[in-house]
Amino acid sequence: MLDVRGLSKSFGGLAAVSNVDLSVDAGRIVSLIGPNGAGKTTLFAMVAGFLTPDAGSVRFQDRDLAGLKPHRICGRGMVRTFQITQPFAGLTTLENVMVGAYHRTADRREAATRARAVLDRVGMAAQAEQPADGLTVAGRKRLELARALATEPQLLLLDEVMAGLNPTEIDEIVGLIKQIRAGGITIFLIEHVMQAVMNLSDYTYVLNDGVLIAEGAPAEIAADPRVVEAYLGHGAAERMRTPEDGHA
């Protein structure tokens, strides 16, 4: 469904994303993990048309996305959420989601009906008339998800929708994501926290310093010394393997 080849982007001298290849198959939940600053958000931004890659290609449903603006990419059925939530602060929660719903209908009543259905689904029906800038962190994350869902995408790019949430809230959103996939939407998600991703994804990519260092089923990934090292620092894998060995 999504096919990324040789994607690269530098900011000044910093190679934020270097020569990344990855693909997301229809119907799956694929995750992209890696430490802060690894280049995950930059990769998403390029895939969704917000940043122009220095090199490489992005294909979605066998069509090249080169040069397409974000709204055109949304029109093709791929929509992203923002790690730093970007609510329409002066509008109500319902109005926020209606902007997404209008992608599929020009009719105001129809858009409102669909937006309310999405709010129901993400458990925000009670906040429908509330101004979006009054929402809690968890509420804003859900709103990101709800707006994107309202555009009725085929592929949903979720950028750290669990960051800053407590364990109960994370459980809820994990359930929600599974439900969304069950509804036929393919999901490509970024998470910084590894555990949350483990029981959720079918396949995982690990990015570190802009470079893909590992990929595979989550269980394999968790055992991969390169991944552990990327997260815990140089030598960590060694130390973990021989925890009793003091001088390692």
Name the site residues for Mg ion (rule: CB under 5 A). Answer: 40-41, 83
- Give residues 102-121 in contact with other proteins (rule: CB under 8 A): 102-103, 106, 108, 111
Three-state DSSP at 153 gives coil
Q: Under the criterion CB under 6 A, does residue 93 sit at the interface with ligand ADP?
A: no
Cα Rg of the chain, angstroms: 19
Distance of CA 225 to the CA centre of its chain: 25
From the list ligand ADP, Mg ion, other proteins, none, partner contacted by residue 38 (C-beta under 5 to 8 A by kind): ligand ADP
Q: Under the criterion CB under 6 A, does residue 153 sit at the interface with ligand ADP?
A: no
Stretch that binds ligand ADP, among 10-18, 73-81, 108-116, 233-241 (CB under 6 A): 10-18
Q: Under the criterion CB under 6 A, does residue 38 sit at the interface with ligand ADP?
A: yes
Q: Under the criterion CB under 6 A, does residue 151 sit at the interface with ligand ADP?
A: no
Three-state DSSP at 7 gives strand
Residue type, position 59, single letter: R
Q: Which DSSP string do the residues of 198-214 spell out, in sequence order?
A: HTT-SEEEEEETTEEEE
Stretch that binds ligand ADP, among 8-16, 88-96, 117-125, 196-204 (CB under 6 A): 8-16
CA dihedral 38, 41, 45, 51 (to 10 degrees): -50
The DSSP secondary-structure symbol of 55 reads E
Residue in 18, 31, 42, 201 binding ligand ADP, rule: CB under 6 A:
42
From the list Mg ion, ligand ADP, other proteins, none, partner contacted by residue 204 (C-beta under 5 to 8 A by kind): none
The shares of helix, strand and coil residues in the chain, as percent rounded to the nearest 5, are 40, 25, 35
Which residues are near ligand ADP by CB under 6 A? 11, 14, 16, 34, 36-42
